[in-house]
């Protein structure tokens, strides 16, 4: 087992596309780290550099203590699960899994033992003699996982392994991969663009955008203390609400929305963290669960706004309410007990103790 360290890693493709820029990530031994970000942000590129399938333009990659920049993939002791499975179509499921072991000259009994064990774990024993084309998508995905785990590598790499599965299968496999991680006690790096996957599976999450790492932290850290507006908006569904405006000072600090007729008092707890922001343009960020109707405000919240429900999406245990305030869309997450019809006007309270403030220009968090 081993950790993985990327230090100042940059990738520039032929043609000048900078797919990764000065990436610094330290994955600890046995950690499950998720790389997440929107399409084209360079997640796959980073993963492929770790795998050795893509040359590193600049910077250093360590697996364990060994510098890996120029080590061929086969000598890195890693396994990778591809988004498209990449099963060997001319080999049976058994041979697909045994391939890597055969190449490494494992004795036959051990190969059999490991393949059987993996097949057992993944529930694919009955398909061992089939060819990949006779399997369903979910089964293929399991074979791809099996091929990785029989090798017992130092590091597992996953590139959106679940994106080809249907929603139910995805949830199930998600749990299975998490279980697998506990069981194998291995270092895993997992790429996805689905932040729910990232939140539920990762010990830590690396958020990327345009080839640049935005923030690294545990799921809750990212959720509660996003380092910038991008991370704040990316993590969490529905996404965080943002209001453009300005911090002003009268006898107390307050936030005045630019468009929405918003005047939000900044609570005492946050006041200390917002020094010298008076008169500055900022974004105020508020998660949907922190915009609550009168019934839930319990009389403690003071900032409020009358909003007209445009769409209401019942999710069973809760309801997402979509409002429009000027050009600013607002979404709130409320209990299912309140299920207003579209068009209803509601007085919504803002729980400002949970407000986030971001610098208007640099978009970095100020509080």
Partner 1 sequence: MNHIMKTTGNKFKINNLQSRIISLFLYFLLIGFTLVVLYPILNVFSISLRPGDRLLSTSLKLIPDGASFHAYKVLFAQTPFLLWFWNSSLIAAAVTITGVALASTAGYAFSRFNFYGRKSAMVGLLVTQMFPPTMLLLPMYIMLLKLHLINSYLGVIVIYTSTALPFCVWQMKGYYDTIPFSLEESARIDGSTRWGAFRRIVLPLAAPALVITALFSFMTAWSEYIVAAQVLQDTSLFTLPLGLKQFEASMSTQWGLYAAGSLLVSVPAVALFLILSRWLISGLTLGSVKG
Which residues inside 178-207 make contact with ligand ATP, applying CB under 6 A?
Answer: 193
Question: Which partner from the list ligand ATP, partner 1, Mg ion, none does 317 bind, CB cut-off 5 to 8 Å by kind?
Answer: none
343 φ, ψ (degrees, to nearest 5):
100, -20
Helix (H, G, I), strand (E, B) or coil at 293: strand
Task: Round to whole Å and give the CA distance between 229 and 242.
Answer: 9
Q: Could you say which of 44, 96, 139, 277 contacts Mg ion (CB under 5 A)?
A: 44
Task: Round to whole Å and give the CA distance between 320 and 356.
Answer: 21
Q: Is 90 in the site for partner 1 (CB under 8 A)?
A: yes
Q: Could you say which of 24, 58, 66, 84 contacts partner 1 (CB under 8 A)?
A: 84
Q: Could you say which of 19, 97, 128, 232 contacts ligand ATP (CB under 6 A)?
A: 19
| 33, 25 contact by CB (below 8 A) | yes
Q: Supply 350's token pair.
A: 């803002």
Question: Which partner from the list ligand ATP, partner 1, Mg ion, none does 41 bind, CB cut-off 5 to 8 Å by kind?
Answer: ligand ATP
Task: Round to whole Å and give the CA distance between 25 and 31.
Answer: 12
Which residues have CB under 8 Å from 278's CB, separation 6+?
247, 248, 249, 253
Q: Using the structure block, give the residue that is written with the tokens 């990232």.
A: 198
Rg of the chain taking only CA atoms, in angstroms: 24
What is the closest distance, in whole angstroms, from the C-beta atom of residue 187 to partner 1 in the complex? 15
Which residues inside 204-223 make contact with ligand ATP, applying CB under 6 A?
Answer: none
Q: How far is CA 305 from CA 227, 286, 356, in A?
A: 27, 14, 18
| 76, 49 contact by CB (below 8 A) | no
Q: Is 129 in the site for partner 1 (CB under 8 A)?
A: no
CB nearer to partner 1: give 143 or 319: 143
Question: Which partner from the list Mg ion, ligand ATP, partner 1, none does 45 bind, CB cut-off 5 to 8 Å by kind?
Answer: ligand ATP
CB nearer to ligand ATP: give 44 or 304: 44
Q: Could you say which of 23, 34, 44, 78 contacts ligand ATP (CB under 6 A)?
A: 44
* # of chain residues touching ligand ATP (CB under 6 A): 13
Closest CA to 205 of 223, 185, 187: 223
Closest CA to 356 of 237, 243, 214, 261: 243
Task: Round to whole Å and give the CA distance between 209 and 215.
Answer: 10
Task: Round to whole Å and give the CA distance between 157 and 22.
Answer: 20
Q: Is 5 in the site for partner 1 (CB under 8 A)?
A: no
Report the residue count for the chain. Answer: 367
What is the closest distance, in whole angstroms, from the C-beta atom of residue 151 to partner 1 in the complex? 7
Which stretch in 39-47, 57-65, 199-207, 334-342 sits in contact with ligand ATP by CB under 6 A?
39-47
Q: Could you say which of 40, 64, 238, 340 contacts ligand ATP (CB under 6 A)?
A: 40
Question: Which partner from the list Mg ion, partner 1, ligand ATP, none does 40 bind, CB cut-off 5 to 8 Å by kind?
Answer: ligand ATP
Which residues inside 8-67 make contact with partner 1, applying CB under 8 A?
Answer: 14, 51-53
| 349, 304 contact by CB (below 8 A) | yes
Q: Could you say which of 78, 247, 270, 274 contacts partner 1 (CB under 8 A)?
A: 78
Residue 44 C-alpha from the chain's centroid:
14
Give the binding site for partner 1 (CB under 8 A): 14, 51-53, 72-74, 76, 78-80, 82, 84-90, 99-100, 103-104, 131-135, 137, 140, 147, 151, 164
Give the binding site for ligand ATP (CB under 6 A): 13, 15, 17, 19, 37, 39-45, 193
Give the binding site for Mg ion (CB under 5 A): 44
């Amino acid at each position: 087992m081993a950790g993985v360290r990327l230090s100042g890693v940059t990738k520039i493709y032929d043609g000048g596309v900078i797919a990764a820029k000065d990436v610094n990530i330290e994955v600890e031994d046995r950690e499950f780290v998720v790389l997440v970000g929107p399409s084209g942000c360079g997640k796959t590129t980073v993963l492929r550099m770790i795998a050795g399938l893509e040359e590193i333009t600049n910077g250093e990659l360590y697996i364990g203590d060994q510098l890996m920049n120029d080590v061929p993939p086969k000598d890195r002791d890693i396994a990778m699960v591809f988004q498209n499975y990449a099963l060997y179509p001319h080999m049976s499921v058994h041979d697909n899994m045994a391939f890597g072991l055969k190449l490494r000259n494992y004795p036959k009994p051990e190969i059999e033992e490991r393949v059987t064990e993996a097949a057992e774990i993944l529930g694919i024993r009955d398909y061992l003699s089939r060819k990949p084309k006779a399997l369903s998508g979910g089964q293929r995905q399991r074979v791809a996982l099996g091929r990785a785990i029989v090798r017992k590598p130092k590091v597992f790499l996953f590139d959106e392994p679940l994106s080809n599965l249907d929603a139910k299968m995805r949830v199930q496999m998600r749990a299975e991969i998490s279980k697998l991680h506990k069981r194998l006690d291995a270092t895993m790096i997992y790429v996805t663009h689905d932040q729910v996957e990232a939140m539920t599976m990762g010990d830590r999450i690396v958020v990327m955008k345009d080839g640049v790492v935005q923030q690294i932290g545990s799921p809750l850290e990212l959720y509660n203390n996003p380092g910038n507006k991008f991370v704040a908006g990316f993590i969490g569904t529905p996404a965080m609400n943002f209001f453009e405006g300005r911090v002003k000072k009268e006898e107390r600090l307050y936030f005045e929305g630019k468009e929405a007729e918003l005047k939000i008092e900044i609570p005492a707890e946050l006041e200390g963290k917002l020094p010298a922001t008076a008169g500055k343009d900022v974004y105020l960020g508020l998660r949907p669960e922190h915009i609550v109707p009168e019934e839930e405000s319990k009389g403690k919240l003071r900032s409020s706004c009358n909003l007209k429900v445009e769409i209401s999406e019942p999710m069973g245990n809760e309801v997402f309410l979509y409002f429009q305030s000027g050009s600013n869309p607002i979404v709130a997450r409320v209990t299912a007990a309140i299920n207003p019809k579209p068009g209803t006007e509601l007085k919504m309270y803002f729980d400002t103790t949970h407000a986030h403030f971001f610098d208007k220009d640099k978009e970095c968090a100020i509080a």
